[in-house]
A and B are shown apart, each in its own frame.
Chain A
Amino acid sequence: MATDYLRVFLAAMRGKYAIHVPDRELACAPFRSPEGQDYFAAMKCAVNMSFVNRQVILHRIREVFSEVFGKDPKDLGMRQVYDVSHNTAKLERHVFEGRPRELLVHRKGATRAFGPGMPGLPDVYRKTGQPVILGGSMETGSYLLAGVDTGDRTFFTTAHGSGRAMSRTAARKRYRGRQLQEQMEERGIYVRTASWSGLAEEAGPAYKNVDDVVEATERAGLSRRVVRLLPMGNVKG
């Protein structure tokens, strides 16, 4: 979807809007233009698709568990607790330069983290603030955090993952997938992978240290730690 509009925006940028960007990947159009509104509508379609897609994945997971444990899916007690999209643009009201304004907040590789009591939060999260799931690597597991009041400095946005510290190519050269799988199994973490090289690309050290990343977001006043999730199983590829 983004690719389709990249083409539309490239043409509109040069012609109609005379916008210059230092990198063509930043191709854009004014939000209130026909092209901008079309893209916003398409983006919302894509986000809806992603929610549906994850519902289907959850359904399949429940089917598999049902088969393995010989129980009806309803009796498994497996239900969705929380779901959020990361790459989005949302119209939100925030105080900016001293006054409340409606802003289009783009979050790319970032996640919304509304603080306690903020309008737009479901009732169940009013007291705690918005849940934030920050992924680490397959070896370290992830964190659950919550949004905080001081998040206003980033329009209530925080990190959504550790981020890679090493390219996939470099990780493939340095690590051996089969060895990683064995080492992880010794630590009680089970991995199923589409290929050994693919697994090597996902080695823990290829990602930034999730503890450091989470501490940084907390110290920056963007979110607070709630629980650390330890990995048991991973499916890669």
Chain B
Amino acid sequence: MTSPYRYLEEIATADVAFEAWGATPEETFLAAADATLNTMVEEIGTVAPLERRVFSLAADSLDLLLFELLQELVYHKDAERLLLRVRDLRIEETGSGYRLRADAVGETIDPGRHALLADVKAVTLHRLVVERTPDGWRAIVVLDV
């Protein structure tokens, strides 16, 4: 089964850009989280589910909500050397925007078992988009590596 994301070579030569998709915004966010992890680790399956983190995040719009989620993954990688895979996610509309609750599992970086690629320094707002498509939803994200 191919992953619901692909890296875009045309957009940002010095950075890493990807497109992620899904039937729902939640599926799209999960795909984007995997794409972010896959930028750092060659095989995301090598990240064992040893530790758990729960995120509660909010933003004015869906694209900024995705920004917050992916930034949270980058933060945990920097602050705790933790590589996380988001396994469950729920998005709710609120009066002033959106709210998200995510369940992530992972482990600390182990150069012996994780084939490391580039380090994601930050998520950028450049060309960030989360939008409906005829088949569902898609997101485009550019990561600063």
Q: Which residues of A does B touch, CB under 8 Å?
A: 2-3, 6, 10, 23-25, 27, 109, 163-170, 194-198, 201, 237
9-residue interface stretch from B25-33, B87-95, B118-126, B130-138: B118-126
Q: Is B117 touching A25 in the complex (CB atoms < 8 A)?
A: no
B68-122 CB contacts (< 8 Å) to partner A? 71, 111, 115-118, 122
B48 at the A interface (CB under 8 A): no
Give bound CA distance, A2 to B121, whole Å: 10
Q: Give every chain B residue within 8 A of A24 (Cβ-Cβ).
A: 125-126, 128
Q: List 24 A-B contacts (CB under 8 A).
A: A3-B122, A10-B125, A24-B125, A24-B128, A25-B124, A25-B125, A25-B126, A164-B13, A166-B13, A167-B7, A167-B12, A167-B13, A167-B16, A168-B117, A169-B9, A169-B16, A195-B42, A196-B115, A198-B115, A198-B116, A198-B117, A198-B118, A237-B111, A237-B116
Q: Is A168 touching B111 in the complex (CB atoms < 8 A)?
A: no
B145 at the A interface (CB under 8 A): yes
Chain B 34-69 against A: per-residue CB contact (8 Å), 1 yes, 0 no? Answer: 000000001000000000000000000000100000
Q: Is B116 touching A23 in the complex (CB atoms < 8 A)?
A: no
Total of A-B residue pairs, C-beta within 8 Å = 59
Q: Which residues of B does A touch, CB under 8 Å?
A: 7, 9, 12-14, 16, 42, 64, 71, 111, 115-118, 122-128, 145
B107 to nearest A CB, angstroms?
A: 16
Give bound CA distance, A165 to B145, whole Å: 15
A175 to nearest B CB, angstroms?
A: 13
